């Protein structure tokens, strides 16, 4: 098989082709169907993979942007190695992984064998719903050393990106199920604690930070904390829309690495200027610029000086690109972790510190007016400081005290430093070029 069909939810939009049998994961080309390009509400898979001109020849797209886009759909790190191994694949066999895992990936995209898909009229097999009990989930969490968490009933259930163990589930009241078939997809993501003992508090940490972000005005995915009895975080997917009859519509979304054509595995720093530059594709640039600025500031205030561009998501449709709800917000220093592949905010910093000179450079690169940056930074510092302490009291029965103390010991000093620095930022406009 040298060609895979590309679908956005229930619409066929193009194909992916392998052009080097000896290195199946390294050379891919992308083509858009002529009828998709001609649609009034058409749009590309990503800004890095533009549509051809309407009525044009529609040549295939080749190069690093194609490889980067599809590689970013798949797990990273140890999650990638173990999941690929369960499929009998090497960790660099991108083509093999997409062939076996592509039916259910992030966003609206589905990567499917052309012939198999057409045999079912573009809709695949009959709907499937497989219940997961809390006891079974607990057992699978405890035995991840013998079987990858993404493999259930001998199949990989969803190709969710990132380095954490995750499982896409369909939630119906208190029931969790694995689903597949026409107009059926997972509505939530289950995230247990990582297998590393040092990261065992990650579900509590992320739960607190996501709730805090919501309190201070960020658009975030809804989260719930459950015990099976192991703690698991249940995250509502922003790339899914559940209809009244129970069916699920997939919404197209990409991460910043896909938008920029950057592989998450590359040792590559993404600049704030690149992120703000993406907003030229937004139909509401002022709204999205404010959302992006708040996301970046919040990451600083919870100690993530090296927040990952891959953790920033965008919705993509015919109107362009818009900042999506935030996910994966966690105070990494409280877990003893510093992230890799940082977003360059414009200066050298450690886990909890950035000086006003770096903020000025950040404003210049991102085209943010210094006055607006100063006001937003001061506002966010005050909100985060006040709400973090209040939320700690509210969640005292759900989040262990050691976790709360660890997070607050990072956040509160950071807020004190940053609010003082906000007053030092020059109020004159800067060159946004």
Decide if 125 is inside a domain.
yes
317 plus 390 within the same structural domain: yes
Q: Smallest Cα–Cα separation from 276: which of 262, 261, 295, 263? A: 295
At residue 254, the 3 state secondary structure works out as strand
Cβ proximity of 4 and 116 under 8 Å: no
Decide if 236 is inside a domain.
yes
Decide if 433 is inside a domain.
no
235 plus 279 within the same structural domain: no
Cβ proximity of 291 and 219 under 8 Å: yes
236 plus 285 within the same structural domain: no
**Pairing of the two strands 167-172 and 175-180:** antiparallel
pLDDT tens across the length of the chain (433 residues): 588 999 999 999 999 998 865 554 468 999 999 999 999 999 999 999 999 987 666 689 988 899 999 999 998 888 888 888 888 899 888 898 998 888 888 999 999 976 655 544 444 556 688 999 999 999 999 998 888 898 888 888 777 888 889 999 999 989 999 988 778 899 999 999 999 999 999 999 999 999 999 999 999 999 999 999 999 999 999 999 999 888 899 999 999 999 999 887 676 788 888 999 999 999 999 999 999 999 999 999 998 866 788 899 999 999 999 999 999 999 999 998 765 445 665 543 333 334 556 787 888 877 888 888 999 999 999 999 999 999 999 999 999 999 999 999 999 999 998 998 888 888 765 444 3
Q: Smallest Cα–Cα separation from 108: which of 390, 297, 324, 309? A: 324
Cβ proximity of 203 and 232 under 8 Å: yes
Decide if 74 is inside a domain.
yes
Q: Looking at the 3D structure of the chain, how many domains does it have?
A: 2
175 plus 150 within the same structural domain: yes
Cβ proximity of 253 and 316 under 8 Å: yes
Give the integer Cα–Cα distance in Å for 127 and 90.
Answer: 31
* Dihedral Cα 82, 85, 89, 93, nearest 10 deg: 10
| Assigned token pair, 63 | 């190069």
| Assigned token pair, 28 | 């891919």
The answer to whether the bond into 229 is cis (omega within 30° of 0) is: yes
Which residues span the domain enclosing 301? 259-422
235 plus 310 within the same structural domain: no
């Amino acid at each position: 098989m040298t060609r895979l069909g590309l679908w956005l939810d229930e619409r066929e939009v193009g194909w992916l082709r392998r052009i080097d049998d000896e290195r199946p994961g390294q050379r891919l080309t992308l083509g858009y169907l002529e009828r998709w390009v001609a649609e009034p509400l058409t749009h590309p898979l990503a800004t890095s993979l533009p549509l051809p001109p309407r009525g044009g020849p529609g040549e295939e797209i080749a190069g690093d942007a194609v490889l980067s886009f599809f590689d970013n759909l798949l797990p990273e790190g140890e999650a990638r190695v173990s999941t690929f191994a369960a499929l009998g694949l090497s960790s660099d066999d991108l083509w093999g992984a997409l062939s076996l895992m592509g039916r259910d990936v992030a966003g609206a995209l589905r990567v499917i064998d052309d012939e198999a898909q057409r045999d079912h009229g573009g809709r695949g097999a009959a709907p499937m719903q497989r219940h997961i009990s809390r006891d079974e989930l607990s057992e699978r969490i405890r035995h991840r050393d013998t079987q990858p968490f993404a493999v259930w009933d001998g199949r990989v259930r969803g190709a969710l990106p990132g380095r954490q163990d995750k499982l896409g589930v369909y939630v119906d009241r208190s029931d969790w199920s694995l689903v597949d078939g026409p107009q059926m997809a997972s509505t939530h993501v289950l995230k247990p604690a990582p297998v590393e003992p040092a990261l065992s508090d990650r579900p509590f940490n992320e739960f607190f930070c996501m709730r805090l972000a919501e309190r201070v005005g960020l658009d975030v995915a809804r989260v719930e904390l459950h015990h099976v009895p192991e703690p698991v975080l249940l995250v509502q997917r922003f790339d899914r829309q559940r209809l009244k009859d129970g069916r699920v519509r997939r919404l197209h979304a990409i991460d910043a690495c896909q938008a920029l054509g950057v592989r998450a595995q590359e040792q590559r720093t993404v600049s704030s200027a690149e992120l703000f530059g993406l907003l030229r594709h937004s139909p509401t640039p002022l709204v999205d610029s404010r959302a992006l600025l708040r996301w970046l500031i919040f990451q600083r205030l919870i100690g993530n000086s090296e927040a990952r561009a891959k953790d920033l998501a965008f919705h993509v449709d015919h109107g362009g690109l818009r900042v999506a709800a935030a996910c994966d917000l966690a105070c990494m220093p409280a877990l003893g972790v510093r992230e890799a592949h940082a977003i360059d905010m414009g200066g050298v910093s450690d886990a909890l510190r950035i000086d006003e000179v770096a903020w000025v450079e950040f404003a210049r690169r991102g085209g943010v007016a210094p006055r607006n940056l100063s006001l937003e930074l001061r506002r966010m510092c005050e909100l985060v400081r006040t709400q973090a302490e209040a939320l700690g009291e509210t969640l005292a029965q759900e989040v262990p005290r050691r976790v709360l103390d660890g997070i607050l010991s990072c956040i509160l000093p950071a807020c004190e430093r940053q609010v003082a620095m906000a007053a030092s930022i020059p109020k004159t406009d800067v060159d946004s070029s």
